[in-house]
C-alpha cells in the first residue's frame, strides 16, 4: 500500500496495518545495526491453509509466481539482538514456490522497538511498524500463556490486534533449519534474505484471533498447527 513519504523508510511497502505515519517516522533513530544480526529468541509459529485472495497481499511484481498456499504467522520474543531486546509479530500470506527453498514474503510485521523498526526497514525492506505487546508470561513460561499485540492505525486507519493461546506438547526436540524471505525495496530491487534457526522445539496447537483493516481476511482465526521454540538462536543474514 503506497504512502506519501516524508522519511525514506516510509516508502517500504506492506499491508495497510503497517503504514508508517509521519509521527512515527519522526521518532526513528538516525541509524541502526547493519546486517547480519545474530539473535537469541523465543518464538511461537503456526501455519494454516491460505485464505482465498491471500496472494493479493504479495507485491504486484511477485503475484504471477507459483506459490505454496500456506500462511505462516509468528510471535517472537527477542532476548538479545544488536539493537536490544524486543517483541515481534509477523505473518506471510503465502510462500513463493522457489527452489531449493520456498520463500516467505512478509507484508505484516510489528515490533515494540524503534531501533528494530529502523533496522528492519533499512536492512531488509521489512515494513515494521510499532505495536504494544502483552507478554503475560516471564521467559521461563514462554508459550504457556496467551499473547496479545495491538497497533494503532496510521492516518486515521482502524487499529489492529493479533492474539494467540498456545497448547504445547511436553517433549522438546532439537531443531535446526534454514529459512528464506524475499522482500522488495522501494526502488524495486529484490532482497533474498537467508535466515538460520537452531534450538529446541515443541509441537503445539496455536489458537489465533486477529482484527484490523485486512488481517481477519487472511490471518485466519482458529486453532492451527504450530510449534514453540522456548530457546533458539536465529541469524538474519545480509540480503543477497
The pLDDT tens digits of the residues spanning 14-70 come to 999 999 999 999 999 999 999 999 999 999 999 999 999 999 999 999 999 999 999
Local structure of 239: helix, strand or coil: coil
Q: For residue 47, which of 71, 14, 24 has the smallest C-alpha distance? A: 71
| pLDDT for 205 | 97
User: Can you tell me the mean pLDDT for 138-142?
Assistant: 75
Residue 3 banded pLDDT, cuts 50, 70, 90: very low
What value does the CA radius of gyration of the chain take, rounded to a whole number of Å?
17
Do 36 and 235 meet the contact criterion of CB atoms below 8 Å apart?
yes
Taking phi first (over 0 means left), then psi (-120 to 50 degrees means alpha), and beta for anything else, what does residue 187 get? alpha
Structural domain contains residue 3: no
pLDDT tens-digit readout, 58-86:
999 999 999 999 999 999 999 999 999 99
Structural domain contains residue 1: no
Structural domain contains residue 15: yes
Residue 156 banded pLDDT, cuts 50, 70, 90: confident
Residue 75: φ, ψ to 5°: -105, 130
Task: Tell me how many degrees the CA angle 58-59-64 measures, rounded to the nearest 5.
Answer: 75
Number of domains observed in the structure of the chain:
1
Task: Dihedral sign for Cα 104, 108, 114, 118, please.
Answer: positive
Local structure of 132: helix, strand or coil: strand
pLDDT tens-digit readout, 166-182:
999 999 999 999 999 99
CATH number for 69: 2.40.400
Structural domain contains residue 164: yes
| DSSP type of residue 116 | H
| pLDDT for 5 | 60
Beta strands 70-80 and 86-92, pairing class: antiparallel
Q: d(Cα 118, Cα 126) in Å, to the nearest integer?
A: 9
Structural domain contains residue 116: yes
Q: d(Cα 103, Cα 88) in Å, to the nearest integer?
A: 19
Q: Could you tell me the three cell numbers for 66?
A: 507459483
Q: d(Cα 122, Cα 157) in Å, to the nearest integer?
A: 24
Which string of DSSP letters, residue by residue, matches 66-111? -EE-EEEEEEEEEEE-TT--EEEEEEESSEE--SSS-EE--SEEEE
Structural domain contains residue 4: no
Structural domain contains residue 51: yes
pTM, two decimals, is: 0.95
DSSP helix, strand, coil percent of the chain (3-state; round to 5): 15, 45, 35
Structural domain contains residue 56: yes
Q: Which domain covers residue 98, as residue numbers?
A: 10-23+33-236
pLDDT at 160 over 90: yes
Amino acid at each position: 500500500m503506497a504512502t506519501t513519504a516524508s522519511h525514506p523508510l516510509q516508502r517500504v511497502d506492506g499491508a495497510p496495518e503497517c503504514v508508517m505515519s509521519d509521527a512515527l517516522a519522526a521518532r526513528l533513530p538516525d541509524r541502526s545495526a547493519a546486517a547480519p544480526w545474530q539473535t537469541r529468541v523465543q518464538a511461537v509459529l503456526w501455519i494454516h491453509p491460505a485464505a482465498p485472495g491471500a496472494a493479493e497481499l504479495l507485491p504486484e511484481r511477485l503475484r504471477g509466481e507459483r506459490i505454496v498456499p500456506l500462511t505462516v504467522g509468528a510471535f517472537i520474543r527477542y532476548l538479545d539482538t544488536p539493537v536490544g531486546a524486543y517483541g515481534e509479530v509477523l505473518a506471510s500470506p503465502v510462500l513463493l514456490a522457489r527452489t531449493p527453498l520456498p520463500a516467505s514474503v512478509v507484508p505484516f510485521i510489528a515490533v515494540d522497538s524503534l531501533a528494530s523498526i529502523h533496522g528492519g526497514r533499512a536492512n531488509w525492506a521489512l515494513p515494521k511498524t510499532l505495536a504494544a505487546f502483552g507478554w503475560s508470561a516471564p521467559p521461563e513460561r514462554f508459550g504457556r500463556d496467551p499473547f496479545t499485540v495491538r497497533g494503532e492505525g496510521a492516518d486515521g486507519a482502524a487499529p489492529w490486534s493479533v492474539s494467540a493461546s498456545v497448547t504445547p506438547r511436553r517433549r522438546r526436540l532439537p531443531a535446526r533449519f534454514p529459512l528464506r524471505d524475499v522482500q522488495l525495496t522501494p526502488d524495486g530491487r529484490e532482497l533474498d534474505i537467508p535466515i538460520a534457526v537452531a534450538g529446541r522445539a515443541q509441537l503445539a496447537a496455536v489458537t489465533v484471533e486477529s482484527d484490523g483493516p485486512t488481517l481477519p481476511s487472511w490471518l485466519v482465526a482458529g486453532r492451527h498447527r504450530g510449534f514453540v521454540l522456548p530457546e533458539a538462536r536465529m541469524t538474519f543474514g545480509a540480503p543477497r
